[in-house]
Homo-oligomer: A and B are copies of this chain.
Amino acid sequence: MEIEALRLRGPSTHRFGRLMGRGVVEPAYPLPTLDVSGPPMSLARNAEIYAEGDPADHLYKIASGMVRTCKFLVDGRRQIGGFYLPGDIFGLEPESEYTFSAEAVTEVEVIAVKRAVASSTQLLALMSRELQSTQNHLLLLAKTAPERVASFLLEMAERIQSAHEVELGMSRQDIADYLGLTIETVSRTLTQLENESTIALPTSKRVVLRNRATLKRLNS
């Protein structure tokens, strides 16, 4: 199977670097193609794809659905490292063992690739994108709760390539553990954004972006 354009996270991860009014920047490490063999694996909601500490010998490309990577701290707190959407590749880690586990957020189809078949150039491109989104995630955690939620909504909208509406596949708990907040704070913040007419919430997982300018301003 030929994957024409490997993509690890969406283009949204460029956002933070672009706030100073500069133009679009070419990626330093353009993504090559990569041969992928094997049939797609289907996984049910919440199924574990790999665990923290497993040998990190495979990469995974998402055909459909959503995946989260996460890590549990000793006191039981959970930190989500990222969400991965169709077309994204996850499983490239800086060690020979996975440092985060990966789980299906929704029903998911993934294609596994042996890491060994990827070239250094390909791995570099993937890791570069992973670093970029981790840096953005880190900057996100320096913000206030409304700013985090606004950034999250804009990131998701951009990755889905949707200007007006976002279908969140993940639960409030997932969002909270990604943003470093509690579910109550996430819920309250969303409600407040709705009351200000910045967003609408036709259902709890469907978000209509009614005022992107306000969200972007919050994004700081």
Q: Which residues of A contact B (CB under 8 A)?
A: 14, 16-17, 19-20, 22, 25-29, 52-53, 56, 71, 73-75, 77, 79, 81, 93-97, 99-100, 119-121, 123-124, 127-132, 134-135, 137-139, 141-143, 180, 220
**A14: nearest residue on chain B (CB-CB)?**
B95
Tell me the minimal C-beta distance from A141 to chain B in angstroms. Answer: 4
In the complex, besides A25-B95, A94-B132, 4 extra interface pairs with C-beta distance below 8 angstroms are A75-B220, A81-B135, A99-B132, A120-B121
Tell me the minimal C-beta distance from A146 to chain B in angstroms. Answer: 13
Within the complex, which residue of B53, B130, B141 is in contact with A20, where a contact is CB–CB below 8 Å?
Answer: B53
Q: Flag if B180 contacts A141 (CB, 8 Å).
A: yes
Q: How many chain copies? A: 2
Q: Flag if B53 contacts A28 (CB, 8 Å).
A: no
Q: Flag if A131 contacts B94 (CB, 8 Å).
A: yes
Tell me the minimal C-beta distance from A119 to chain B in angstroms. Answer: 7
Q: Flag if B28 contacts A93 (CB, 8 Å).
A: yes
**A93: nearest residue on chain B (CB-CB)?**
B28
Q: Flag if A128 contacts B73 (CB, 8 Å).
A: no
